[in-house]
Structure 1
Amino acid sequence: MSQSITKGDAVDVPRHTRVLIVGSGLSGLGTAVRLTQEGYTDFLVVERGDDVGGTWRVNTYPGAGCDVPSQLYSYSFALNPEWSRSFSPQPEIHRYIQGIADRYGVRDKHVFGCAMTGARWNDADARWEVETTRGKFTADIVVSAAGVLAEPNLPDIKGIHSFEGEIFHSAQWDHDAELSGKRVAVIGTGASAVQIVPSIAPEVARLDVYQRSAGWVFPHLTRRYLAPERFAFKHVPGLQRLIRGLIYANRELFVISQAKYPATAVFLELIARVKLWLEVRDPALRKRLTPKFRAGCKRLLISNKFYPALTRDNVELVTDGIEEIRGRSIVSEDGTEREVDAIVLCTGFHVADSPTYSMFTGRAGLTLSEEFETDGLQAYKGTTVAGFPNLFTMLGANSGLNYTSLIYVIESQIAYVLDALATMDKQGLRTFEVREDVQDEYNRVVQQKMARSVWLTGGCTSWFLDRHGNNPTLWPDFSFRFRGQLRKFDVENYETTSVVAQVDTAAPVDRADVSVDHAGQGDPVSHTGG
């Protein structure tokens, strides 16, 4: 097992590397493994936490699990025949990710307890200068793999900071907090809440669930895998890949109702309505749990326990907005004051407005956040951004999927990164930067496709949307089409600079030794020389 570099270790960490990966969730770790497999050794991973895992390291709340089938939730190069269930719980997913780091020996490329605080492009030296809590690093290329569910979104509610009881976000679960026998409030009814509420309802004295808008809840088709099944996955050649492929094809059908023909979502809604009718017999409660928007406009929820939990005698669904939080109570907009001992915030994450974007400063001296201020979050193929040379953004703009595994997108982007590195080596490139006109046209086409989607026409306001009313989060087409556009690094759509061969190959390259292709002026120039 390789040894990681942890906070406080007396290890001489290299301060310059060719590739610096920020974050070690599924994106960052997958990139590290594939770099290793392709023979690259000059890279480093900085991770603010104490282990790999990303969202599956930090989201340890009761009932945490994946709402994507287990067979899709693994790297294609490391299928897991040992999944215990068809939908896996958080501890099992985290163990899988930890096992990947160990199996492929990339822990010694990690610096844990190392949070990035800023990254600035140095145009003179053609490299990134990255500030962290463990000092400064420089890198020729940066892969931002901080994740889309990395920064909890804390609600702006009057008095929230004056609450005297225990209060924490679902992604920052306080395992020292004793909720048994307490009066607890859960704010939010999204994907985390539908897992948390049934898990804590039996043990708390009282549970108030604050709902802003009802979501569409579908049956959770989870089951335990039998020992013979796991044996077959492990020993029958091709079986697990076949099942994985069939599940993948089935999930792609959701694109029809989500992005192509939203009216067909009525068939999904019928399933959810029947489920609601069967599990909630109180007509008044059932009415408050019936969504007022098209299925898919917000993230589809799956649970067999959420509705039954809401019918318990010690659980109350509150649909009036929150007016104020006081020392030991929550006051709703109708004036009702409910005493509580603890508050759990299931209020999502910063996605389109991620704080990470304010940390990257590009060639023009503007941060990603400042670049996105006018037109909103944008990227080219979800992976590169004009004005930010030698930067890859994993799970960037319009790369998200709400119906299948994001690992499919992640591996597609990793392939693009690897081909970019190979292209740089082959053509002697020093820098690359996507042309602004190319990025603009790409985003125009994406938003044109998005216009007919349920996310814009379904009648809801969701975290998928930004303040401009655009959806910069999701990919509006089949996932295999997203992969198709990333199969090859299209260098002709980038402005590049080249390293000119030196007589003294040991001498450092200075600014005078760099030639620039202004690909935005006339036809793009593609380097073919090595």
Structure 2
Amino acid sequence: MGGPSVAIVGSGFSGLGLAIALRRAGFTELTVFERGDDVGGVWRENTYPGAACDAPSHLYSYSFEQKPDWSRRFAPQPEILDYLRGCARKYGVMEHMKFGTEVTGAEFDAAAGRWNVRTAEGETSTADVLVSACGQLSRPSVPDIPGLESFAGTVFHSAEWDHGHDLAGRNIAVVGNGASAVQFVPQIAPKAARLTVFQREPQWVGWKWDRRYPRARSWLNRRFPVLQRLSRLGVFLWFEVLLNPMLISPRGRRVLSAHVRALCRTTRWSVRDKETRRSLTPGYELGCKRVLVSSDYYRSLNLPHVDVVTSAIVKVTPDAVVTADGGTHQVDTIIMGTGFRSHGFFAPMRVAGLDGRVLDDAWKDGPHAYLGLAVAGFPNFFLMYGPNTNVGSGSVVHMLESQIAYIVQAVRALHDPEVLYMDVREGVLSEFDERLQRRLGGTVWNAGGCNSWYLQGGSRNASNWPGSMLDYRRRTRSLDPSDYRFVKR
């Protein structure tokens, strides 16, 4: 078929899935730019001890490529990475990969209806369609702590784990207590001489109902694929029918919050020290921040050489972390469990659309995109896992597959030889965004009493979708041509 040429930036679940879908639809003129040396995105980069998915494996996978032999209910990082590598090989997209290539900029040529894509190596290429598949969680965030550069020991972020640094017998500071920290702290705590978790705010942590699947389960899945599909459906309904309403509906929150709070409270009672347990109790509404799951994080805090410090860090000296209460904590290793720059959806690219307008300027009041996919004034440009497409409960892979189907439809529309480019209408985008933000106002993410990475500047929610996964699937099932301005050649 050939068709429009497509440039995809990123080869994680989103970019890889889109490349596969385009090939299956007959569009073979595509290039996937990947700054790393392999596919996988965050699952290639995050290799810290204990790294694993916190959504069940049967749902956290492509619907078109079910894996019958997951080793566990919550698959570990190496297994997810192998799964993505296998998908890339099976569907023939490795030949489209351009590894070790970081895209630094892209400018739209309105006369030609094409994007000029620049790389860090100084190379330039063109494409009819540009897709940013960088995601929301690809760039580590490191807080600006005074004196950090003077630290004489070893410092690294959890997403850039230093496997050459032996943690045995070390005095370790872990800055942050989010989704990554609750996974790696139990793994490294037993070997440390002392480990101190510097906690800015407590988290809701529920029990992780993880288990290893028996071999018979894999055999049955292969023999009777319907069993795995039923398992996937059951997990999907659990999120959609039970958990998601708690986050997006005030009434649902009242009904389900008490039950889930009780489960989290039961988990927290595994911490023996009363003061520590009190410091781990959130004062904000459940779900306001990402609800974490772990069956061993709280237990690791019972170790005699593990402490939780809630006083804010004020500075770092060559051999210590100093807190606002006057405490000086001697350490030789600092691990940043401080998350990601979640609103840099296309960082570090400089994207310039019609009339040279830069996307950063278009988003000066906050990231926004129609269905999280398209931005007015940036023709033939689409985002994956863009603004307001994160799910507080469920699997982002389901959302990505909705986006993939939509973008394939857009590429089909651009296959018309008379069409130069398509640009989402400004009024369509603004009306969508206004309604979206109004709906978000009543959700737990906006009204739950916390300051999370979902919010930009403490107010605008640029991350979450205020509905169900099925609602998003319905909205993206068919591309409505009237939403776009089609410019003819």
For the superposition of Structure 1 and Structure 2, which TM-score range results when normalised by the shorter chain? over 0.9
1:70-115 Cα deviation digits (max 9, x unpaired): 0001101100001000110000000000000111111010110000
Give the Å deviation of 1:423.
2.2
Tell me the equivalent position of 1:450: 440
Tell me the equivalent position of 1:115: 102
Matched, 1:174 2:162: yes
Q: Which of 308, 315, 319 is residue 306 of structure 2 equivalent to?
A: 315
Q: Which of 55, 65, 71 is residue 52 of structure 2 equivalent to?
A: 65
Distance 1:238 1:244, change over 3 A: same
1:340 is aligned with what amino acid?
Answer: V
Give the Å deviation of 1:430.
2.0
Distance 1:353 1:33, change over 3 A: closer
Contact in 2 for aligned 1:358/1:369 (Cα 8 Å): no
How far, CA to CA, are the matches of 2:303 and 2:225 in structure 1? 47
Distance 1:65 1:54, change over 3 A: same
1:163-191 Cα deviation digits (max 9, x unpaired): 11110111000111111111010000000
Tell me the equivalent position of 1:238: 226
How far, CA to CA, are the matches of 2:376 and 2:104 in structure 1? 22
Which residues of 2 match residues 461-480 of structure 1 at below 5 A? 461-467=451-457, 469-480=459-470
Distance 1:355 1:343, change over 3 A: farther
Contact in 2 for aligned 1:357/1:367 (Cα 8 Å): no
Matched position secondary structure for 2:460: coil
2:157 is aligned with what amino acid?
Answer: H
How far, CA to CA, are the matches of 2:361 and 2:457 in structure 1? 14
Same amino acid, percent of matched pairs: 42
Which residues of 2 match residues 217-256 of structure 1 at below 5 A? 217-252=205-240, 253-256=242-245
Matched position secondary structure for 2:264: helix
Give the Å deviation of 1:162.
1.4
1:259 is aligned with what amino acid?
Answer: I
Contact in 2 for aligned 1:53/1:94 (Cα 8 Å): yes
Tell me the equivalent position of 1:23: 10
Tell me the equivalent position of 1:273: 265
1:195-228 Cα deviation digits (max 9, x unpaired): 0110000011100100000000100000011111
Which residues of 2 match residues 474-493 of structure 1 at below 5 A? 474-493=464-483
How far, CA to CA, are the matches of 1:73 and 1:449 in structure 2? 26
Contact in 1 for aligned 2:6/2:127 (Cα 8 Å): yes
1:34 is aligned with what amino acid?
Answer: A
Give the Å deviation of 1:437.
0.7
Tell me the equivalent position of 1:202: 190
Q: How many correspondences in the alignment? A: 482
1:198 is aligned with what amino acid?
Answer: P
Which residues of 2 match residues 349-428 of structure 1 at below 5 A? 349-354=340-345, 356=347, 359-374=350-365, 376-426=366-416, 428=418
Matched, 1:187 2:179: no
Contact in 2 for aligned 1:65/1:89 (Cα 8 Å): yes
Matched position secondary structure for 2:315: strand
Matched, 1:105 2:96: no
Which residues of 2 match residues 280-295 of structure 1 at below 5 A? 280-295=271-286
How far, CA to CA, are the matches of 1:146 and 1:456 in structure 2? 25
Contact in 1 for aligned 2:49/2:187 (Cα 8 Å): yes
Give the Å deviation of 1:133.
2.5
Tell me the equivalent position of 1:258: 247
How far, CA to CA, are the matches of 1:319 and 1:218 in structure 2? 21
How far, CA to CA, are the matches of 1:173 and 1:478 in structure 2? 34
Q: Which has the larger radius of gyration?
A: 1
Which residues of 2 match residues 78-157 of structure 1 at below 5 A? 78-134=65-121, 135-157=123-145
Matched, 1:434 2:421: no
Give the Å deviation of 1:63.
0.5
Q: TM-score, normalised by structure 2?
A: 0.96
2:327 is aligned with what amino acid?
Answer: T
How far, CA to CA, are the matches of 2:29 and 2:302 in structure 1? 57
Matched position secondary structure for 1:441: helix
How far, CA to CA, are the matches of 2:424 and 2:144 in structure 1? 37
Matched position secondary structure for 1:44: strand
- For structure 2, the residue ranges without an aligned partner over 5 or more in a row are none
How far, CA to CA, are the matches of 2:34 and 2:396 in structure 1? 20
Tell me the equivalent position of 2:28: 41
Distance 1:171 1:17, change over 3 A: farther
1:309-362 Cα deviation digits (max 9, x unpaired): 111101010000001011111001111111111100011101124561752112
Which of structures 1 and 2 has the larger relative contact order (alpha carbons within 8 angstroms, sep 6+)?
A: 2
How far, CA to CA, are the matches of 2:348 and 2:280 in structure 1? 36
How far, CA to CA, are the matches of 2:457 and 2:148 in structure 1? 24
1:110-140 Cα deviation digits (max 9, x unpaired): 1100000111112222211111134111111
1:496 is aligned with what amino acid?
Answer: F
Q: Which of 346, 356, 360 is residue 337 of structure 2 equivalent to?
A: 346
Matched position secondary structure for 1:20: strand
Give the Å deviation of 1:490.
1.1
How far, CA to CA, are the matches of 2:345 and 2:135 in structure 1? 9
Contact in 2 for aligned 1:322/1:331 (Cα 8 Å): yes
Contact in 2 for aligned 1:85/1:222 (Cα 8 Å): yes
Give the Å deviation of 1:229.
0.9
- For structure 1, the residue ranges without an aligned partner over 5 or more in a row are 1-15, 499-513, 515-530
1:411 is aligned with what amino acid?
Answer: E
1:255 is aligned with what amino acid?
Answer: N
Matched position secondary structure for 2:378: coil
Give the Å deviation of 1:377.
0.9
Contact in 2 for aligned 1:353/1:369 (Cα 8 Å): no
Contact in 2 for aligned 1:297/1:455 (Cα 8 Å): yes
Distance 1:266 1:367, change over 3 A: farther
How far, CA to CA, are the matches of 2:392 and 2:414 in structure 1? 34
Contact in 2 for aligned 1:357/1:369 (Cα 8 Å): no
Q: TM-score, normalised by structure 1?
A: 0.89
Give the Å deviation of 1:468.
5.8
Contact in 2 for aligned 1:352/1:465 (Cα 8 Å): no
Matched position secondary structure for 1:101: helix
How far, CA to CA, are the matches of 2:370 and 2:474 in structure 1? 14
Tell me the equivalent position of 1:300: 291
